[in-house]
Amino acid sequence: MENCGFGWQNHLLSATLSGNGVAALPVTNLQNQQGAASLGWRVAGGTAGWNASLQMSLSSALPIRAISLHRTNLSAAASWHIQIHDGSTVVFDQTGACGAQNGQCLLVLPSEATGNAVSITILDVDNPDGFLSIPLAYVGPLWQPQRNYASSSTESLTLGQQSTTMINGGEFVDARYVQRGLSIVHDSYGDSDIATLRQIQRAAATGQNILFLPDPSQPPLTLAGQALLGRLSGGDLSNPYGPANRHSQTLTLTERL
């Protein structure tokens, strides 16, 4: 088990992107912060269109450990091929099942790779929707605090629904969305963690999505079920243990829809 990981330096947001897709929903839509399918990247189905292909070009070689897709319509049969290049050298190359859960796919590299280009190709020929929809993605490093978060952390579900009750007591529910939320309690941040915590919260204050992984060492299918990408806010940072090198703060993370 590893300490929890935060992804807050999303290289994809500043990269030069290219790829296939519907003209009205191009691959560059991945650089907005909205998770709606109507604002995402879409690739039409068909003989030549089942491969969603993304190429990222970075201005310099940067560290990468986590690659993820969010709010997708990918099926359980989807697979992907990921390559990271440092100039003409391929520093990471992997093909395998996406392991889609909750519309998410996660890959955490065994160790950080440094590269200036990333290519991701997604194959999902049996997708029942007839197209591939990928609104959000993260490509970048993971920051892990000195010590892990507390077991008192909680997960919540916000149900977006309208319920109508008839005169006879019958109920009709119009289900609109389900939004996950996390209360990440941490009672033991080290002194050296504080500067990064502040940077994460400043980035989040601009509306940038933050990725959270409870345990980056888990297999991709488990990661996809646990991970959350969304808006983050922080409570007060305290030092409840006097001179000890332990600080307390609770972060609230809400899934971006």
164-214 pLDDT, tens digit each: 888 888 888 877 888 999 999 999 999 999 999 999 999 999 999 999 999
Per-residue pLDDT, 49? 52
In terms of pLDDT, which residue wins out, 130 or 242?
130
Q: What is the mean pLDDT of the chain?
A: 93
pLDDT exceeding 70 applies to what percent of the chain? Answer: 98
Ordered DSSP codes for the chain = ----EEE---GGGGSEEEE---TTS-GGGGGSS---GGGSEEEE-STTTSEEEEEEEEEEEEEEEEEEEES----TT-EEEEEEEETTEEEEEEEEE---BTTBEEEEEEEEEEEEEEEEEEE-TT-TTSEEEE-EEEEE--B--SSPPPTT-EEEEEEEEEEEE-TTS-EEEEEEEEEEEEEEEEEEE-GGGHHHHHHHHHHHHTT--EEEES-TTS-HHHHHHH-EEEEEEE---B-TTTTSS-EEEEEEEEE--
Which tens digit of pLDDT belongs to each residue from 1-52? 899 999 999 999 999 999 998 999 999 999 999 999 999 999 988 654 578 9
Residue by residue, what is the 3-state secondary structure of 222-255?
Answer: HHHHHCEEEEEEECCCECCCCCCCCEEEEEEEEE
**CB within 8 Å of 224: residues ≥ 6 apart:** 98, 99, 100, 101, 102, 104, 105, 106
Per-residue pLDDT, 243? 82
Which tens digit of pLDDT belongs to each residue from 82-117? 999 999 999 999 999 999 999 999 999 999 999 999
Per-residue pLDDT, 239? 87
Per-residue pLDDT, 165? 85
Q: Is the Cβ–Cβ distance between 137 and 119 less than 8 Å?
A: no
Closest CA to 207 of 22, 66, 34, 36: 34
Per-residue pLDDT, 156? 94
Per-residue pLDDT, 47? 54
Per-residue pLDDT, 242? 81
Q: Is the Cβ–Cβ distance between 255 and 230 less than 8 Å?
A: yes
| pLDDT surpassing 60 at residue 70 | yes
Per-residue pLDDT, 143? 98
